[in-house]
Amino acid sequence: MAARDQRSLLKRFTTNTYVAGALPTIGGIMFGCDISSMSAQLSNPYYLRQFKNPDSDLQGGITAAMPAGSFGGALINSWLSDRIGRKKCIMLSGWIWVIGCAIQAAAPNVPALVAGRVIAGLGVGIASAIVTVYQAEITKPSVRGRIVSIQQLSITIGIFLQYFCQYGCSFIEGDASFRLPWALQIIPGLILGTLMMIFPESPRWLMDKGREDEALQILADVHGMGNKDDELVQIEYLEIKEQIALDQQSAKSYLDLLKPDVRRRVFLGMSEQMWSQLTGMMIVYVMQSAGLQGRRSELIASSVQYSLNVIFTFPGMWLIDRVGRRPLMFFGALAMATWLALVGGLQAGLGHEVTGAEAAATTTWKVDGHPSGRNAIIVFSYLFVCSFAVSWGPCSWTYASEIFPTKVRGKAVSFATATNWVFNFALAYATPPAFRDQQWRTYFIYFAFNIAAAIHIFFMFPETKGRTLEEMEEVFAHNAFTAWRVPPSVGKKTLADLEQCVI
């Protein structure tokens, strides 16, 4: 009896819609660790000694090795997730990350370090492309936004934890100061790769493979407390069955991404991931141009930034299923454009060019002698972080995971995520020289990107809040440039309608 009770308790735990949706986002912690894994090492004397003081080009290659691997992982997932399933892909990403981090932590030279970072990036790329697909396919439509947006919260937590881990370890004497933070990154991968074994597979993937009884049972467990006759369970089951029957009328191919009813959504998913990088979120770390000097000042400024990023992701998770994806992204882009324009204007009006020893590697423009202006620049930068965290942070992952048909969802989300990594890689190289050469004008470049994103959202991104994944077919059947006119009733079907369709 005790053993049966324990199994029953475990099943209720692993099929709870919040738990099943949240656990895979440990992959987001890996993503966050990836983003900040080199931030505190660039001035670490033990790191520099071990790897022979890499110059800026070599260090750029070391840093970019991980997003390059992540790009490859995202593309591999486009094939792998349809072949072995969503759950096994998530498990695989965790174990690949463990191997990569172990190689990185033990690396004796630059080639080994780059190899470790590429392998770890491969794991992150697979996780970033499949976690939100799994979440979207297993959660209820009413809470899908907040569940999928946990991925962004996990990313910000990963950045936060890894940054402070690196800073704390920097006070250790010897190579452990940089090897220990890299070794500790193994922990989330171990947890993810192990615990996902006991969680259910995506019911939509199972249905696509002809395993309808298993799919119905999982839908009942996750959405209906085990009741297969629950109305929501039956509606979802019949919707999925109807859609997959249509999908299976032709063989699956990458060319499906170019079909008229899909290519628009592929374009939107890829462009949304592109805009999320071009918002300018990568530029707020540059506090030196505001006049901050000294390691302690930079630590405090960065600590506040990372803390705000975590804190303001929570209201975004709450708003996404109440306000909707479209308003959050539209007004978020306008808010970020406003803060960037104010920062750029203050920098232009109060700053001056610096040269020689006074100039940093990425800073040739500083605001000196204007404490009020400096403080305003810092505050506006923090408001920019808050605006991103409450809007584009959670929305960018959610929207791209829910707009595609089951037949191409794995491939399409992988291509969208790969776009994220391409621009992540490009901006990692382009932003520092942009600040060095264009100085305060760089803020207005990102200002223009945000305005363009807002216009794109208004005309072409319909609202997806509260809809099942199968209802997206009719939502995106409307004119591509009249997204604001799509009524909330489009695509809604009753249980009787679906029973008639299946019959």
Exposed e or buried b per residue across 17-28, where buried means at least 16 C-beta atoms within 10 angstroms of its C-beta: beebbbbbbbbb
pLDDT tens readout for residues 354-370? 776 555 555 667 777 77
Residue 239 CB neighbour total at 10 angstroms: 22
The span from the CA of 284 to the CA of 286, in Å, is 5
User: Strands 365-366 and 352-353: what pairing?
Assistant: antiparallel
Query: Mean pLDDT lowest for which of 5-9, 10-14, 225-229, 290-294?
Result: 290-294
What is the per-residue pLDDT for 384?
Answer: 93
Phi, psi (5° rounding) for residue 451? -65, -45
Q: What b/e readout covers 252-265, taking b as 16+ CB neighbours within 10 angstroms?
A: eeeebbeeeebeeb
Structure tokens at 466: 């509260």
d(CA 328, CA 38): 31
Judge whether residue 109 has pLDDT over 90.
yes
Report how far apart the first and last C-alpha atoms of the chain are (Å, whole number). Answer: 42
C-beta separation of 24 from 131 below 8 A = yes
Residue 275: the pLDDT is 94
Per-residue pLDDT, averaged over 299-317, amounts to: 84
Looking at residue 185, its pLDDT comes to: 92
Could you give the percent of the chain with pLDDT greater than 70?
Answer: 87
Across 152-168, average pLDDT: 86
Q: Mean pLDDT check: name the lowest of 245-254, 378-387, 410-419.
A: 245-254
Is pLDDT of 331 > 90?
yes
Cα distance between residue 320 and residue 135, in whole Å: 15
Is 498's pLDDT higher than 50? no
Q: Say how far apart CA 279 and CA 275 lie, in whole Å.
A: 6
Cα–Cα distance measured from residue 400 to residue 493, given in angstroms and rounded to the nearest whole number = 23
pLDDT for position 357: 55
Q: Residue 226's Cα: distance from chain center in Å?
A: 32
Reading the block at residue 144, the tokens are: 């899908």
199 CB contacts (<8 Å, ≥6 apart)? 14, 20, 23, 24, 87
Q: How far apart are CA 316 and CA 321, in angstroms?
A: 9
Q: 479: how many CB neighbours lie within 10 A of its CB?
A: 10
Residue 1 has pLDDT above 50, yes or no: no
φ, ψ (nearest 5 deg) of residue 352: -150, 160
- DSSP secondary structure code for residue 280 in this structure: S
List alpha helices for 85-202, DSSP H: 86-106, 110-138, 144-148, 150-169, 176-184, 186-195
Identify the pLDDT of residue 2: 62
> In 3-state terms, what secondary structure has residue 7?
helix
CA atoms within 13 A on the CB side of 441: 7
User: Does the pLDDT value for residue 295 go beyond 60?
Assistant: no
Averaged pLDDT for residues 133-156: 86
Tell me which of 235 and 273 has the higher pLDDT. Answer: 273
Report yes or no: 298 and 292 within 8 Å, Cβ to Cβ. Answer: yes
Q: How far is CA 232 from CA 222, 315, 404, 454, in A?
A: 11, 27, 21, 35
Distance, in Å, from the CA atom of 237 to the CA atom of 360, rounded to the nearest integer, reads 59
Q: How many helices (H) and strands (E) does the chain have?
A: 24, 2
**Amino acid identity, position 220:** A
Structural domains in the chain, CATH included, are 16-199 (1.20.1250.20), 255-466 (1.20.1250.20)
Mean pLDDT of all residues in the chain?
A: 83
Cα gap 101→34, rounded to integer Å:
10
The predicted model gives 227-256 an average pLDDT of 80
Tell me if 141 sits within 8 A of 467, measured CB to CB.
Answer: yes
More confident residue, 489 or 65: 65
Q: Which residues contact 3 (CB under 8 A, 6 or more apart)?
A: none
For residue 78, pLDDT beyond 80: yes
| pLDDT for res 294 | 55
Whole-model pTM over 0.85:
no
Question: pLDDT value at position 251?
Answer: 58
